[in-house]
A and B are shown apart, each in its own frame.
Chain A
Amino acid sequence: MSAGYHIVVCGGIVPDPLQTLEPVKGPAGWGLKNELMLPAILDPWAGHALFEAANLAKNAPGSKVWLVSMGPKAKLQQVMMTIAQKVPFELVVLDGPAGGFVEAQAVGTALAEAIEAIPGLDKSRLLVFGGWMSASRGAGATLQIVGEKLGIFEQFQGVDKLEVQSGGALRLLERVEGGSYQESTLDGPPAVVGWATGELPEPPNNPQVGMQNMRLVMPALQKAKPVKVEGGPEYLSVQVPSQKRETRVVKDTPVDEIAKEIVDWLKA
């Protein structure tokens, strides 16, 4: 396809999973303890979507990538110091909550509105990318709602591979059970693609790429409008799943022995 794609990646930010995450109820509802002070990262599934988008755009001249992200402005700025270094994109910011306690419906609506408002976006060439789940709540519904609101009904979830075929058709592999894939072919955009882990590794940070991106990222952050999300469910109580770790630390065990033990365990 000579004109290339317009790829909009929806990607939220989540607290670094290495942190202690403890739900607490504040005046504005449920949140995480010290949420604002915890370091944040780009949602890992959205990250895969972004790297796949950048790769697709690189190989289809004329393409362009936008990253649409809702989160507290100040936190987004921090995350961009890393993300902006990885691949080229233009940022669209929604200044709103990112805690994982907002209804998927509200988030999806806000994202769809933001996408509609992107100047120069060609819907006939549009691919909406995102994670099929997110690390903050994994509702699995947000991307679908975004698509519905935009009137895009070709939707694929749990995608690990997207290939452009010679005629411009898209071949997609969606995860199904037992490590198998469902294969679909689509004439072309528009489509919604919810990524699983994709195939590409995380690109290294490169401040040189970052400097290019930041010329657009900073103004986008500065003029970000606050999004008010209202309604949604009331939570009576919230709990992170209690950790169950049964770890044995055994040094210098041969690989074969480890493998055998796992197989025995699976068979038991």
Chain B
Amino acid sequence: METLRTLPGDDVRQIMWRFADRYDIQMTVQSARSLARTLVARLVAEGARHTHEWTDHKAQLLDAFDSSGLTALFMDPHQGGFIEGPKNLALALVAFELAWVDAGAATCSLATNLALAPIHERGTPDQRDSYMSRCVPPQPGEDRTIIRGAFALTEPLPYVGVETNTLVGKLRVAEWEEGKEPILQVDKRGRFITGMDFANFATCAVDTDDPRIKTSCIVIVEDTDEGLFDRGAPTLKMVHQLSSTRDPVFNLKVPASRIVGGYTVKDGVIVPNYTHSEIIGAVFHRTRVPVALMSTAKLLSAVEPVIRYHRQRFRGGDAQPGTPKFDLGIQQKQDAVLRLAEVWAMGEAGASLGFETARLFDQLDPSEKEKDRIFSEQGIMGPKSQLSALRKVEKQAIELLGLEAQPEGQRDEARIEALKADPLVRYATLEALANILCPACKLWNTGQGANMMREVLALMGGYGITEDCPGFLFYKWTDCQLEATYEGPEAVQRRHLSITMTNEVFLARLRIWIEEFNILAATRPETGAGAVAASMELWLWTLEFLHRAKDPSGARLYHNRRQNVTFPMADALCWVMASRAQVGDVLELAEKGPENPIVAEGLEGTLGFFADLSMVQAARAAGECARVCAQMVYGFGPQDEAELAAFEALRAGIDRATAGAALAKDRAGQALTQVMIPEALDYPQ
């Protein structure tokens, strides 16, 4: 039987992650990769991670990001960038490539973008162009220095760490002369602020401490402003040491034009156009996706060093070339390859989910701008009134999803066109999905990814926890923990999901997926689509049950404060969403693979292998989902017998849908003993 011949190359990835026709993105990937596997790898190998301080040694990264074009990636061409339009997928791929070697370096590269993100998402056109173009490296003949930024949301609270929802940083009016622009006093202490060693500006979240300022906001401070711009003490961190982190102190005077997104003056009061939380919502919505993929990159990067190590183990003594002992080493033992297949399967699922989310944001970006334009024309300002205006188009969004799901030729194309032409409907449809996929990949890829990285180290035995472990696997494992924490720890993502996963537009889409995947289960059973369909069905049934059911004291089960219900359900959904995305990528490879001569060669084996991984992962996800749902239905009981019977029937269905998964894992494990790997790891240790 044909099996996987080589590790999947770029051609395969470009198809699966949908950038085969984007040369700009392919080049960016190559750029990031060569930097990762030269300078970044060298820094780690030379021990640059052994200090908390930002050193000249580490600072080489900044020049390298500049000269390789990565610094300019976030910008539009008129600001000095080179990609027109949304760049979420491009940024996600860069984070993935850099984190393949070291996620701290990836974070370092993205930190200025994070600082710019509030300006990019909600800044005035002036703020946007001015800061973005100053953050681009000077072109030949230009006489200026590049500026870099830091994003300061979190801050120290007395006696505790930080709590992302509470702001102590303050904004006051310092001077306000009649007819002139007000001058503001910014007072902010940051905690764990990335890029602070070399930042020239910071975007700071501050609350109002002055009756003449209406709300909280984000304000830009610069190192040349009047007052104190103290970079503070370095964070004594044990992870991501290739990025700089400090606890800065700002006490500065800035003009009111530094309020991100601008302000209006009403009855003598400065009214910021956006509160800090509105801006942060938009920022994290996007920047969480690359973070999710950093953890994923590590799982996939582990495959090759583990295979190499396993094959070379036990070579000592009398092993002769050509004997299984020599060629396979510990790969002769099934457990070694089966566990690695699980690691790979989860890595694939994370990549599928993360890159799907990045692509979704590339679609969402223009539609969000369009929505904002329409709302501002209609005078619908502020998050609350926008939300209620959007609620009105939800019905149409659901109608659109329903129509699109009907077979071509039988559906009302005119109505579809009409609904699609409505930017608000389009926005509502995309946003409902983004509101699931973004927290899901941030939570699942990083959290479960960190757990799985532990398995990777276990596969290397004692070697895994030594300093010379190939591929820096130990660092990669510990780094995952930060990715699971920053930009909102896991609890924050679960809370986000517990609210958005009951959105009717999303639930309508989920029902359509269930139908689609049931059809797929009949036509492409080898992908695990049946297990995914059964999981979605069980999850949805359980969610509906939790809304009807009560505990013995008569209290409702699905409730904001009942995190013993909402949080596990959020976790279960993540597993299923990741598997769903993975099946999608396998189908894409099956469809587009034959068109590419390189991929077509050996496609049968590649496709079979990816389908096996997809099946393995779908079975695992089904198990997690069924376990959580069972805990919900039985754990808060006793419940009505009829409810229990209905649940048991569905649960039995989920188990059955995993038929053949163990065989798929056997095949995947066997493939790992055959696949050709390079002679040497392509970066130094």
Contacts and interface: CB of A to CB of B under 8 A. Distances in A.
A207 B24 contact: yes
25 contacts: A18-B679, A20-B676, A20-B678, A33-B676, A34-B5, A34-B676, A36-B597, A36-B598, A37-B5, A39-B9, A39-B10, A75-B598, A78-B10, A78-B598, A81-B29, A85-B27, A85-B69, A204-B34, A204-B35, A204-B67, A206-B31, A207-B28, A208-B82, A210-B23, A214-B27
Interface string A210-221: 110010001000
B69 A34 contact: no
Interface in B203-258: none
Q: How large is the interface on A (under 10, 10 to 19, 20 to 34, 35 or more residues)?
A: 20 to 34
B182 interface: no
Contacts of A207: 24, 27-28, 31, 69, 73, 82
A78 B11 contact: yes
Nearest to B25: A207
Max chain A CB contacts within 10 Å: which of B28, B31, B67, B73? B31
A37 B72 contact: no
Contacts of B82: 207-208, 211
A19 interface: yes
A207 B137 CA distance: 14
A72 interface: yes
Interface string A55-92: 00000000000000000101100100110110000000
B5 A20 contact: no
Contacts of A20: 676-679
A81 B23 contact: yes
A243 to B, nearest CB: 9
Interface in B593-615: 596-598, 601-602
Interface of B: 5-6, 9-11, 23-24, 26-31, 34-35, 64, 67-69, 72-73, 82, 596-598, 601-602, 676-680, 682
B589 to A, nearest CB: 14
Contact of B9 (A33, A37, A204): A37
Contact of A204 (B27, B68, B596, B678): B68
B64 A37 contact: no
A185 interface: no
Contacts of A204: 31, 34-35, 64, 67-68
A116 interface: no
Given A18-B678, A19-B679, A75-B598, A208 B72 contact: yes
A33 B596 CA distance: 19
A218 B24 CA distance: 12
A165 interface: no
A204 B69 CA distance: 9
A205 interface: yes
Max chain B CB contacts within 10 Å: which of A19, A207, A210? A207
Max chain A CB contacts within 10 Å: which of B9, B23, B29, B597? B23
Interface string A184-215: 00000000000000000000111111110010
Nearest to B14: A78
A210 B83 CA distance: 12
A242 to B, nearest CB: 10
Contacts, number: 95
Is chain B's interface secondary structure helix, strand, loop, or mixed overall?
helix
B678 A19 contact: yes
A107 to B, nearest CB: 21
Contact of B598 (A18, A74, A205, A209): A74
Max chain B CB contacts within 10 Å: which of A20, A85, A206, A209? A206
A85 B34 CA distance: 12
A211 B24 contact: yes
Contacts of A205: 27, 30-31, 34-35, 68-69
Interface string A11-49: 000001111100000000000011011110000000000
Contacts of A74: 11, 596-598
A153 to B, nearest CB: 39
B27 A84 contact: yes
A72 B598 CA distance: 10
Nearest to B606: A37
Contacts of B601: 34, 36-37
B409 to A, nearest CB: 34
A136 B26 CA distance: 25
B631 to A, nearest CB: 45
Contact of B602 (A37, A39, A211, A214): A37
A39 B598 CA distance: 10
A82 B29 CA distance: 9
Contacts of B598: 36-37, 74-75, 78
B26 to A, nearest CB: 5
Contacts of B69: 85, 205-209
B27 A210 contact: yes
Contacts of B602: 34, 36-37
B315 to A, nearest CB: 13
Contacts of A33: 676
Nearest to A19: B678
Contacts of A37: 5-6, 9, 598, 601-602
A81 to B, nearest CB: 5
A214 B22 CA distance: 11
Contacts of A18: 678-680, 682
A204 B60 CA distance: 13
B35 A82 contact: no
Max chain B CB contacts within 10 Å: which of A34, A38, A208? A208
Contact of A206 (B10, B11, B67): B67
A78 B601 CA distance: 16
Contacts of A78: 10-11, 598
Contacts of B677: 20
B113 to A, nearest CB: 16
Interface in A156-183: none
Interface string A120-163: 00000000000000000000000000000000000000000000
Contacts of B67: 204, 206
A72 B601 CA distance: 13
Given A18-B679, A37-B6, A218-B23, A72 B597 contact: yes
B94 to A, nearest CB: 10
Nearest to B90: A207
Contacts of A218: 23
B30 A81 contact: yes
B678 A81 contact: no
A78 B11 CA distance: 8
The 8 lowest CB-CB distance pairs between A and B, nearest first, are: A205-B31, A210-B27, A207-B27, A206-B69, A207-B69, A36-B601, A82-B30, A18-B678
A240 B45 CA distance: 31
Max chain A CB contacts within 10 Å: which of B10, B29, B69, B682? B69
Nearest to B597: A74
Contacts of B679: 17-20
B678 A16 contact: yes
Max chain B CB contacts within 10 Å: which of A17, A84, A211? A211
A67 B396 CA distance: 55
Contacts of A84: 27
B597 A81 contact: no
B16 to A, nearest CB: 15
Contacts of B29: 81
A204 B34 CA distance: 8
Contacts of A85: 27, 30-31, 69
